[in-house]
């Protein structure tokens, strides 16, 4: 009969309960990947709240966590790139909105300038009209005196 694989209590590793649970799950996953007696040893150790500490088990667990960390890093980089793209797109949209607002404000100022010009012209025409009406009234008055 083979001697039991060396192991340590997983609660003695200085991990939180959630971390211990996660370690147990990954130890079982590694054991399943190894197959055979290694799988049974990892499963047996995990079910007894222990972590296998033989070199091959630790190497497999380390490789598993390296792959997991690489996968997390790749996902983080993809999310970071997506965030950067979304931020850039929003920044561009905001820039375009500001440019459009600036253009509309400039157009509005131009309309106000034109209204002011028209108001000045209107005042000039009204003043001239009043002068013309005054001359017309004089001419009619003279015409009535002469025409009598």
pLDDT tens digits for 34-79? 665 666 776 677 777 777 777 887 888 889 899 999 999 999 999 9
Q: How far apart are CA 145 and CA 148, in angstroms?
A: 6
Instruction: Name the burial class of residue 6, with classes exposed (0-12), middle (13-18) and buried (19+) by CB atoms within 10 angstroms of its CB.
Output: middle
Residue 113 has pLDDT above 80, yes or no: yes
Closest CA to 6 of 63, 44, 60: 44
pTM listed for this prediction: 0.56
């Amino acid at each position: 009969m083979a001697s039991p694989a060396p192991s340590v209590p997983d609660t003695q590793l200085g991990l939180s309960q959630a971390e211990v649970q996660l370690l147990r799950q990954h130890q079982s996953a590694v054991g399943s990947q190894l197959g055979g007696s290694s799988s049974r040893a990892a499963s047996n150790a995990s079910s007894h709240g222990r972590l296998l500490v033989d070199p091959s088990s630790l190497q497999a667990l380390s490789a598993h966590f390296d792959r997991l960390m690489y996968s997390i890093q790749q996902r983080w980089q993809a999310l970071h790139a997506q965030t950067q793209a979304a931020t850039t797109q929003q920044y561009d949209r905001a820039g375009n909105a500001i440019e459009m607002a600036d253009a509309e404000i400039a157009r509005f100022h131009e309309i106000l300038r034109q209204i002011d010009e028209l108001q000045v012209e209107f005042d000039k025409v009204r003043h001239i009209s009043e002068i013309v009406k005054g001359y017309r009234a004089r001419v009619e008055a003279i015409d009535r005196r002469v025409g009598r």
